[in-house]
Amino acid sequence: MSSATVSGTSEVRILVDPTSERVPASRARPEPLGSIDGRTIGLLDISKARGNLFLDRVQEHLENRGARVLRFRKPTFAKPAPVDLRHQIATQCEAVIEALAD
């Protein structure tokens, strides 16, 4: 937890990091694919209503551009994807698109 003074006032605001990370994790940004022709793209359905319909359209567009598409689905949108599902996606796909909602 840290405090900060608002510019021009003596009001103190407490900023709370909900991740409880003392030092945020940093990762190198992966290189862009360049082209998706011949690449394996994963589509992750987070299990929200009609997400599969959206991903059907995305799959159609990707396949029309030469990509191989693999579909994955989280058991529930309320929790992060299980470790085994994340591992499967990471080992089988060169990129992933996650269908979000709301």
Does any domain span residue 93? yes
Cβ neighbours of residue 68 under 8 Å, at least 6 residues apart?
A: 38, 39, 40, 41
How many independent structural domains does the chain possess? 1
| Average pLDDT in the chain | 85
Higher per-residue confidence, 2 vs 33: 33
Task: Output the pLDDT for position 65.
Answer: 96
What digits encode the pLDDT tens for the residues 85-99?
999 999 999 999 998
Instruction: Name 96's Cβ contacts closer than 8 Å, sequence gap at least 6.
Output: 41, 42, 43, 44, 89
Is residue 16's pLDDT more than 80? no
Query: 91 in a domain, yes or no?
Result: yes
Q: How many residues does the chain have?
A: 102
For residue 40, what are the domain limits? 35-102
pLDDT at 102: 63
More confident residue, 14 or 46: 46
The residue-averaged pLDDT of 43-51 equals 91
Kindly tell me if the per-residue pLDDT of 3 is higher than 70.
Answer: no
